[in-house]
Amino acid sequence: MVLILLACNPTAKETDDPTMSEEQVQKKEKKELTRDQILASEEFYFVPVTEEEKEIFWELGGLLVDESTKRIGGKLMKMLEMQGPSGAFDYCHVNAQLMTDSLSKASRTLLRRTSFKTRNGDNDPDPWETKILAEYEARMAAGGDMDPMLVKDNGGGIRYFSPILIMPVCLNCHGTDAEIAEDTKQKLAIHYPEDQATGYALGDFRGMWSINFAFQQ
């Protein structure tokens, strides 16, 4: 399903800091916006993709998500079997982001995972991702479809999104307090002191894969 969200054109903003470039100002302003401000804003919106764009990027987005999931999930399962939840955490902590970054570079895209409840603050959603995450949350609550989406943001970036739902293996690090082993809790406290990504139940909406194809164009 292709999501189309339309709104008005963005309006210019000003800053009191003359030492910051326009790009730095824009990034700072977007980072400081709250979720509610972003969802109410007309500055961040989507326009329809063309049939030609859909033909090219829909399949490619699916392939990249499948490959990313296979690389990370396959190795994670092996580590879980061999070394238990603690070993799986160690692997994921060190390698998951590296593997995602590697595939992102190889595909000349911005490929990442994001959520409203991140473990690593570097994965906080940008404004357009915030709007898609909210859309998925609403669909989940209403029992709607959780299919991938292909959209174009008002900056011209073609984006592919695919939801991540909690699977049994995820509960070892993202489940309730009772489901997470004590040594894993200690490691989470050390490596991710601002962690928000726990308390999930099986089947919950965890977040999504986000691919921005702007770097290919």
Higher pLDDT pick, 180 / 15: 180
Examine the pLDDT at 27 and tell me if it is beyond 70. Answer: no
Examine the pLDDT at 188 and tell me if it is beyond 60. Answer: yes
Dist CA 151 CA 66 (whole Å): 19
Strand partners, 161: 149, 210
Q: What is the mean pLDDT of the chain?
A: 87
Examine the pLDDT at 18 and tell me if it is beyond 80. Answer: no
**Mean pLDDT calculated for residue range 131-155:** 96
Which pLDDT tens digit goes with each residue over 49-108? 999 999 999 999 999 999 999 988 888 888 889 999 888 999 898 889 899 999 999 999
**Mean pLDDT calculated for residue range 134-151:** 97
The pLDDT, as a whole number, for residue 167 is: 93
The number of helix segments (H) and strand segments (E) in the chain equals 7, 5
Q: Domain limits of the chain?
A: 47-216
Is the Cα dihedral 139, 142, 147, 151 positive or negative? negative
The pLDDT, as a whole number, for residue 73 is: 86
**Mean pLDDT calculated for residue range 117-126:** 95
What residue has token string 């999504």?
208
